[in-house]
Every structure is written in C-alpha cells, then in structure tokens.
C-alpha cells in the first residue's frame, strides 16, 4: 500500500532528477509497507543505505544542474540539502530509539522532504 505516488506534478522535466525523486518515493513506500507488516528493522537499514547514496549522488546532480543554469537560489537549495543530510545523520545516531520508532521518524522526514523540497523547492528551481 503506497503512502506516496509519483505524479506528473512532481516532474521537473529532467529525466535523471525525476528518476532520483521516484526512487525516493519508492523508498518512502518501502518503509511504510514494512511498518505495516512489522518488518521495519530490515527496511529501515535498507532505506538508510539507499538514502545515503541518494543524498550523495542526487544532490550533486541537482546542484550541478542548477549551477549550469546559473540559478539564483542555488545557495538556499544547497542549505536545504545540507539540512536533510543533517536530519538523516541524526536519525542514524538515534540508537536509543527502536527500529520501529526510527522508521516512524524516517517516514516523517521523507514525507516532509517529498512534500516540501521536491514538490516546491525543486519545482521552483526548474522554472516555468
């Protein structure tokens, strides 16, 4: 059961970036499904590994794309990317929480990222 679905409204029209965003939605759905079926531990660790690759590769591609367009909001966009890196690092360090609790936290971070950053900041950066 998906918690988020890719729609054309989320598309930036840049195939590589759209594919990255679709992968993020898939990760969000994987964590949600795992929680529903009490498999959150394995899903959490897989999601965190996927997200580590995601923030490294995707952010570099997106920032390079913005830089090539001499985008005026690049500095702010980089700050938003750094904020997600910080949130994920904090989540990884929360060893006092159970995997179930960390999965809930991860779902909230990904939901906020999907709804806030991708749906608004990235769409704004892609221009008309």
Q: HSE of 114 in the Cβ direction (CA atoms, 13 Å)?
A: 23
d(CA 107, CA 91): 11
Which pLDDT tens digits describe the chain residue by residue (128 residues)? 788 888 888 888 899 899 988 988 888 888 888 888 877 677 778 888 888 888 889 899 999 999 999 999 899 999 989 998 898 888 888 888 888 888 888 888 888 877 777 777 777 777 65
In a domain, 28, yes or no: yes
State the residue range of the domain holding 120.
14-34+41-126
d(CA 24, CA 39): 19
Of the candidates 51, 46, 47, 71, the residue with the CA atom closest to the CA atom of residue 122: 71
Number of domains observed in the structure of the chain? 1
Helices (H), the chain: 15-36, 40-68, 74-93, 99-112, 123-126
> For the domain that residue 117 is a member of, what is the CATH number?
1.20.120.50
């Amino acid at each position: 059961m998906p918690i988020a679905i890719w729609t054309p409204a989320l598309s930036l029209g840049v195939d590589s970036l759209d594919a990255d965003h679709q992968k993020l939605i898939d990760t969000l759905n994987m964590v949600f499904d795992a929680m529903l079926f009490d498999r959150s531990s394995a899903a959490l660790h897989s999601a965190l590994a996927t997200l580590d690759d995601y923030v490294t590769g995707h952010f570099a591609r997106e920032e390079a794309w913005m830089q090539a367009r001499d985008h005026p909001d690049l500095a702010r966009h980089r700050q938003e990317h750094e904020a997600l890196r910080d949130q994920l690092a904090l989540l990884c360090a929360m060893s006092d929480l159970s995997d179930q609790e960390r999965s809930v936290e991860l779902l909230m971070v990904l939901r906020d990222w999907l709804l806030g950053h991708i749906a608004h900041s990235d769409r704004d950066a892609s221009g008309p």
